Amino acid sequence: MASRTPGADAETSLVTLHEIAPPAAADLALGGTGGFHWIDGGPEEGTRIGAGLVAKADGEGTYVPGWGVYVIARAGDARAVGAIGFHTAPADGRVEIGYDIVAAARRNGYATAAVRALTARALADPGVTTVRARTTPDNTASRRVLENAGFRLVGRDGEELTYEVGELGELGEVGELGE
């Protein structure tokens, strides 16, 4: 299993989030597994891109532990089904997240559970007041994940929709299946 930052993992009844340490992120970005056991078809390209950003930030000395990328593992068998993470560490009380799920694991509630868990972790930080996510209007599944996780549509910029949540109470039950 990949090395992790102590205390950085989050767990629900459906998924466990494991922070990807910079060396594992570099491996993942270069086509490896990052030390995780993936279901068939994984990881997705978005996971590799996110891992590459962690590796790049680490190389530049700007990586902040706890504010990187997390592997989403099924609670039942610990197989990796996707990734979720922060685009950067918080700035001005805001942080943005992104996520993807391996095609074979979609429509099982993993994304909603992961979004809720990571958002709750972010909002528990006293420096974070708002968590943001963006998607395209045609990505109905991602829009539904965000809405089920308590996010509200707050704007449209060109071809992107912006969703936000600002209070833990808006998330609903973190372990609850919202799909």
User: What integer pLDDT is reported at residue 169 of this predicted model?
Assistant: 55
User: What integer pLDDT is reported at residue 9 of this predicted model?
Assistant: 77
If you count them, how many residues does the chain have? 179
User: What integer pLDDT is reported at residue 170 of this predicted model?
Assistant: 58
Beta-strand pair 160-165/130-135? antiparallel
- In sequence order, the 6+-apart residues with CB closer than 8 A to the CB of 116 are 12, 149, 150, 171, 172, 173, 174, 175, 176, 178
Enumerate residue ranges in the chain where pLDDT < 70. 1-8, 168-179
Structural domains of the chain sorted by starting position, each given as residue range(s) with its CATH number in brackets: 10-171 (3.40.630.30)
Rounded CA-CA distance 72/13 in Å is 12
Rounded CA-CA distance 16/127 in Å is 24
CA dihedral 131, 135, 141, 143 (to 10 degrees): 50
Rounded CA-CA distance 140/55 in Å is 31
Strand ranges inside the chain, DSSP E: 10-11, 15-19, 69-74, 80-86, 94-101, 130-135, 152-157, 160-165
Q: By C-alpha distance, which of 125, 117, 133 is closest to 165?
A: 133
Q: How many CB atoms lie within 10 A of CB 179?
A: 15
User: What integer pLDDT is reported at residue 23 of this predicted model?
Assistant: 96
User: What integer pLDDT is reported at residue 175 of this predicted model?
Assistant: 39
